[in-house]
């Protein structure tokens, strides 16, 4: 049976770098316990292009519209592990965000969502737009409160637009829409906090999510009848390309650049772990 | 739920805006839903109260509940915008709810943090103040709002800023009393009711602040004396949803208490006809509104 993964996130949330590193691990088969390539049956040119850039320590932008092609990948886990076919299209964050504004999905995307077996929701820790209250800003600035004016009296004020909605509201909106449409009675959502190396605190990914995106965290906890969730911290590059370039180049096995953290687990290089869990490829995993 | 026009090759998505009456009806039918009507004249702070309750959930669990779902995320966002830095305003405000706005119901699903009880849906009416001015002045107007008969909770909002000023306190208390009188005389018996003082930070800053406690006490005694037979237990809650900086209140002061009230049970069963002579119906029917009320 084909396990259909839905990788979604807003622009710049780290999906493409994740896919590049994921394809490297699957194809190189050098991470113990990770999903491994069983056999090639379909063109994987865009995956190879992404992987090459990732190996060269270049930014892994989405390549072309072909990147949305759905390529089935036949994988296996371990020497005696079960086989599975996964599809993990690299959907453009820009399209996903625009669809939230236009309030419509392409029919093909809606159908893909409907048939998905698990979801990976990407968040970049440095691309979180907050909803800062004016009163809080005044309080922090320590300025005297100004005479209240009615709406419209401040000439520089902006009208509301859905593009300006805080990141966590967009993500909840998105995951609500997915949950409303996905056919499975119950499904899994793996939240991938990308660029995890940027997080200074030694907190767990779940704790980070509850602190930085509390609405999303509450939603995932409350929707336990409909979905099961986990939060992973993933550094697909292993560091910042400019700052850590020399260190990253010195790593002998490129897979070991990758860092994956899940609550109550040590750091691993298995970037397939979120996929395996979300798609239920390995039911034995805790 | 409404959707945008469907273009060829596209599937329309729910708008995310506030719900109209039909959509609210559908929501009320599909789950056990608490219907709440914050009632008060224009400028009393109804929309600000709702916006700040929503803002609390953007910060984390609130009033022992977690956010679980909302059909009206963008409706909340629209209402919250002018109080945020992103609006580029120097002072926070809330746009008046337009009289013509037919999308007037906000939806929240909240799950108890304890996990022992299932999530509960809240449908909150964000009606323009003019609707309540009409109700206050003409009892028959209440009959054209079937949702009042379906409501589980009606919160009468009293402008604290007006109560704190010698020039405006008499009128503010009179307006609230007459609105309560009109709603009760309109035959509304099912809903639990509360009086919510808004802008309590401004009440304390008014030129009548030294008499505020005494004035409030007289006002509350009057309401109890006049309406206790029909109101049942009436709770009074002092709130400061968006207090001015420098006042002794945090944002959302006492909104947790307001929300707990709203999540509580109504006083009685639903009445088919929102007149003093209505009759009780099956429990199942408690989960829907009625017919063709005015779409406010």
Q: Can you give the pLDDT at residue B274?
A: 45
Q: Can you give the pLDDT at residue A67?
A: 45
What's the ipTM?
0.89
* Chain A (137-156) residues lying within 8 Å, Cβ to Cβ, of chain B: 137-139, 143-151, 154, 156
> Which of A19-28, A264-273, B4-13, B274-283 shows the lowest mean pLDDT across its residues?
B274-283
What's the rounded Cα separation, in Å, for the pair A212 and B242? 22
In the structure encoding, which two tokens stand for residue B173, read together? Answer: 């208390």
Strands A118-123 and A2-9: parallel
Residue A139 has pLDDT above 80, yes or no: no
Helix or strand run (H / E) with residue B181: helix B169-185
What's the rounded Cα separation, in Å, for the pair B104 and B86? 24
Rounded mean pLDDT, A132-153: 66
Q: Contact, B21 vs B105, CB < 8 A? A: yes
Q: Is pLDDT larger for residue A250 or for residue B154?
A: B154
Single out the residue of B132, B221, B116 nearest to residue B183, CA to CA.
Answer: B132
Of the residues A157, A207, A223, the best mutation for testing chain B's interface (the one with the most B CB atoms within 10 Å of its CB) is A157
What's the rounded Cα separation, in Å, for the pair A240 and A246? 10
Q: What is the DSSP string of B79-95?
A: HHGGGBGGGT-SS---P
In a domain, B98, yes or no: yes
- The DSSP symbol for B244 reads P
In a domain, B16, yes or no: no
Which distant-in-sequence residues (6+ apart) come within 8 Å of B250 by Cβ?
Answer: B243
Single out the residue of B153, B147, B163, B166 nearest to residue B192, CA to CA.
Answer: B153
> Which of chain B's residues have a Cβ under 8 Å away from the Cβ of A150?
93
Kindly indicate the confidence band of residue A79, based on its pLDDT and cuts at 50, 70 and 90: low
Q: What is the pLDDT along chain B (296 residues), one digit of tens a residue?
A: 444 445 689 999 999 999 998 899 888 877 689 999 999 999 999 999 999 999 999 999 999 999 999 999 999 999 998 888 888 888 888 887 776 777 899 999 999 999 888 999 999 999 999 999 999 999 988 888 888 888 999 999 999 999 999 999 999 999 999 999 999 999 888 899 999 999 999 999 999 999 999 999 999 999 999 987 888 788 999 999 999 888 889 999 999 999 999 999 888 765 444 444 444 443 334 444 544 333 33
For residue A225, give the chain B residue with the closest CA.
B118
Of the residues A103, A107, A150, the best mutation for testing chain B's interface (the one with the most B CB atoms within 10 Å of its CB) is A103
In a domain, B292, yes or no: no
Our CA-based measurement puts residue B253 at a distance from the nearest CA of chain A, in whole angstroms, of 14
Q: Is pLDDT larger for residue A280 or for residue A103?
A: A103
Our CA-based measurement puts residue A178 at a distance from the nearest CA of chain B, in whole angstroms, of 11
Q: Can you give the pLDDT at residue A138?
A: 80
Kindly report the average pLDDT of chain A as a whole number: 86
Q: Which CATH architecture has domain A2-144+154-278?
A: 3-Layer(aba) Sandwich (3.40)
> Which of chain B's residues have a Cβ under 8 Å away from the Cβ of A180?
14
Task: For chain B, say whether A229 makes contact (Cβ under 8 Å).
Answer: no
Q: Is pLDDT larger for residue B31 or for residue A205?
A: A205
Q: Can you give the pLDDT at residue A35?
A: 87
Length of chain A: 286
In a domain, B1, yes or no: no
Domain ranges of chain A: 2-144+154-278
- Tell me how many residue pairs between chain A and chain B have CB atoms under 8 A apart: 153
In the structure encoding, which two tokens stand for residue B241, read together? Answer: 């949803």
CA B51 to chain centre: 11
Helix or strand run (H / E) with residue B47: helix B46-59
Single out the residue of B34, B9, B274 nearest to residue B141, CA to CA.
Answer: B274
CA A94 to chain centre: 14
Single out the residue of A163, A131, A165, A134 nearest to residue A148, CA to CA.
Answer: A134
- Domain ranges, residue B182: 21-280
Q: Which domain CATH number covers B33?
A: 3.40.50.300
Residue A156 has pLDDT above 60, yes or no: yes
Task: For chain B, say whether A218 makes contact (Cβ under 8 Å).
Answer: yes
In a domain, B246, yes or no: yes
In the structure encoding, which two tokens stand for residue A83, read together? Answer: 């086989």
CA B159 to chain centre: 14
Q: Can you give the pLDDT at residue B120?
A: 93
Interface contact A164-B57, CB threshold 8 A: no
In the structure encoding, which two tokens stand for residue A228, read together? Answer: 């099961």
What's the rounded Cα separation, in Å, for the pair B203 and B197? 9
Sheet holding A72-77, edge to edge: A35-39, A72-77, A83-87, A2-9, A118-123, A187-194, A227-235, A259-262
Terminal alpha carbon distance of chain A? 22
If one counts the domains in chain B, the total is 1
Q: Which of A103, A154, A176 sits opposite B12 (nearest CB)?
A: A103
- The DSSP symbol for B31 reads S
What's the rounded Cα separation, in Å, for the pair B266 and B122? 13
Strands A118-123 and A227-235: unpaired
Three-state SS letters, chain A: CEEEEEEEECCCCCHHHHHHHHHHHHHHCCCCCCEEEEECCCCCHHHHHHHHHHHCCCCCCCCCHHHHCCCEEEEEECCCCCEEEEECCCCCHHHHHHHHHHCEEEHHHHHHHHCCCEEEEEECCCCCCCCCEHHHHHHHHCCCCCCCCCCCCCCCCCCCCHHHCCHHHHHHHHHHHHHHHCCCCCEEEEEEEECHHHCCCCCCHHHHHHHHCHHHHHHHHHCCCCEEEEEEEEECCCCCHHHHHHHHHCCCCHHHHCEEEECCCCCECCCCHHHHHHCCCCCCCC
> Which of chain B's residues have a Cβ under 8 Å away from the Cβ of A143?
245
């Amino acid at each position: 049976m084909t396990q259909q993964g839905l990788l979604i996130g807003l622009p710049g949330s780290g999906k493409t770098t994740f896919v590049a590193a994921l394809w490297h691990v699957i194809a190189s088969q050098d991470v113990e316990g990770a999903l491994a390539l069983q056999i090639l049956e379909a063109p994987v040119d865009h995956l190879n292009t992404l992987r090459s850039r990732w190996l060269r320590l270049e930014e892994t932008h989405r390549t072309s519209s072909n990147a949305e092609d759905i390529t089935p990948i036949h994988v296996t886990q371990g020497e005696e592990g079960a086989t599975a076919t996964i599809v993990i299209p690299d959907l453009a964050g820009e399209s996903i965000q625009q669809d939230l504004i236009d309030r419509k999905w392409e029919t093909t995307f809606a159908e893909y969502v409907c048939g998905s077996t698990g979801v990976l929701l990407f968040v970049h820790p440095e691309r979180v737009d907050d909803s800062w209250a004016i009163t809080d800003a005044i309080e922090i600035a320590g300025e005297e409160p100004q005479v209240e004016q009615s709406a419209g009296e401040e000439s520089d004020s902006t009208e509301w637009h859905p593009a300006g909605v805080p990141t966590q509201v967009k993500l909840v909106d998105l995951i609500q829409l997915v949950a409303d449409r996905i056919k499975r009675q119950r499904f899994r959502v793996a939240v991938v906090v990308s660029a995890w190396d940027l997080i200074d605190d030694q907190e767990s990914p779940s704790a980070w999510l509850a602190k930085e995106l509390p609405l999303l965290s509450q939603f995932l906890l409350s929707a336990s009848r409909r979905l099961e969730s986990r939060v992973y911290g993933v550094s697909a590059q292993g560091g910042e390309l400019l700052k850590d370039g020399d260190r990253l180049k010195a790593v002998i096995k490129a897979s070991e650049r990758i860092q994956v953290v899940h609550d109550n687990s040590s750091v691993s290089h298995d970037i397939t772990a979120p996929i395996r869990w979300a798609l239920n490829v390995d039911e034995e995993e805790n | 739920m409404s959707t945008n026009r469907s273009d060829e090759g596209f599937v329309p998505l729910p708008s995310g805006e506030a719900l109209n009456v039909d959509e609210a009806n559908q929501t009320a039918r599909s789950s056990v839903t608490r219907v709440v009507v914050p009632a008060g004249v224009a400028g009393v702070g109804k929309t600000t109260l709702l916006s700040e309750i929503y803002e609390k959930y953007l910060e984390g669990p609130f009033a022992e509940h977690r956010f679980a779902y909302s059909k009206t995320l963008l409706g909340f966002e629209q209402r919250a915008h002018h109080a945020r830095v992103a609006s580029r305003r120097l002072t926070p405000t809330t746009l008046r709810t337009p009289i013509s706005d037919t999308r007037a119901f906000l939806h929240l699903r909240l799950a108890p943090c304890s996990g022992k009880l299932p999530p509960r849906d809240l449908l909150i009416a964000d009606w323009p103040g003019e609707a309540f001015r009409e109700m206050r002045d003409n009892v028959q107007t209440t009959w054209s709002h079937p949702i009042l008969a379906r409501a589980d909770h009606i919160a009468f909002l009293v402008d604290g800023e007006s109560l704190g000023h010698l020039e405006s306190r008499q009128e503010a208390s009179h307006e609230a009393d007459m609105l309560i009188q009109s709603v009760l005389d309109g035959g509304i018996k099912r809903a639990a009711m509360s009086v919510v003082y808004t802008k309590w930070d401004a009440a304390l800053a008014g030129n009548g602040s030294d008499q505020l406690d005494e004035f409030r006490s007289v006002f509350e005694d009057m309401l109890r004396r006049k309406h206790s037979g029909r109101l049942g237990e009436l709770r009074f809650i002092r709130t400061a949803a968006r207090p001015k900086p420098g006042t002794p209140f945090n944002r959302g002061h006492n909104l947790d208490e307001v929300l707990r009230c709203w999540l509580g049970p109504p006083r009685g069963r639903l009445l088919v006809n929102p007149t003093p002579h209505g009759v009780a119906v099956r429990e199942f029917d408690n989960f829907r509104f009625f017919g063709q009320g005015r779409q406010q």
